[in-house]
């Protein structure tokens, strides 16, 4: 059977781990630890419907040049923003435009809705979480009036940043159309 590369890799890795573990068919032990390899592979889900675009296309140099970390941007088509991961809300900006999340595996994420939207002072942002809340992938974080943001002359481009990328050994970014709460937007591996 032919699978797309990602699915095939997942099935092969799952087969290796579930069926063989660290024991080879001849009874010898693997030198690598399949369990730790499986635990290091992770993904983040798109926080909203839209188009995934490279960070360097953003009009804000702090994001475009990676000064705040590494990640991807989203040009949202829907104003419902959901958690891209299982974790904890560790910060909500006073202007309600930015959310800091700590994933269960220790990544620190910044979801920054729009560019310069801090100047709206919360207008058009309707948060559904607060600092300290536990969230699951797909849980609603905030509803946003994207039309209002655009009417006021602000970009709705939304960076999703890993602010502690030193924990990563690799980071792969999706491009193109994504569905919030469903489609992968980032895939990463943790350092050993």
- Which domains are seen in the chain, by residue range? 1-32 (no CATH), 42-190 (2.70.70.10)
Count of Cβ atoms closer than 10 Å to residue 15 Cβ = 10
Q: Which of 40-44, 147-151, 160-164, 168-172 has the lowest mean pLDDT?
A: 40-44
User: How confident is the model over 53-68, as a mean pLDDT?
Assistant: 96
pLDDT at 192: 80
Which residue, 160, 144, 141, is CA-closest to 152?
A: 144
Q: What percent of the chain has pLDDT over 90?
A: 78
Residues annotated as part of the active site: 112
User: How confident is the model over 35-58, as a mean pLDDT?
Assistant: 83
pLDDT tens-digit map of 74-133: 999 999 999 999 999 999 999 999 999 999 999 999 999 999 999 999 999 999 999 999
H or E element, residue 7: helix 5-15
């Amino acid at each position: 059977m032919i699978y797309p590369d990602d699915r095939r890799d997942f099935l092969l890795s799952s087969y290796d781990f579930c069926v063989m573990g660290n024991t080879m068919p001849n009874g010898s032990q693997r030198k690598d630890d399949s369990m730790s390899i499986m635990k290091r592979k992770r993904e983040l889900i798109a926080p909203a419907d839209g188009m995934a675009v490279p960070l360097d296309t953003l009009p804000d140099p702090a994001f475009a040049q990676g000064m705040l970390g590494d990640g991807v941007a989203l040009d949202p088509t829907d104003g419902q923003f959901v958690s891209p991961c299982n974790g904890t809300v560790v910060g909500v900006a006073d202007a309600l435009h930015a959310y800091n999340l700590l994933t269960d595996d220790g990544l620190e994420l910044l979801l920054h809705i729009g560019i310069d939207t801090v100047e709206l002072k919360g207008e058009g942002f309707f948060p559904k979480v607060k600092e300290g809340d536990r969230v699951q992938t797909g849980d609603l974080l905030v509803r946003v009036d994207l039309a209002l943001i655009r009417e006021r002359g602000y970009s709705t481009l939304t960076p999703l940043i890993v602010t502690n990328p030193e924990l990563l050994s690799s980071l792969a970014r999706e491009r193109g159309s994504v569905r919030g709460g469903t489609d992968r937007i980032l895939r990463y591996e943790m350092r050993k």
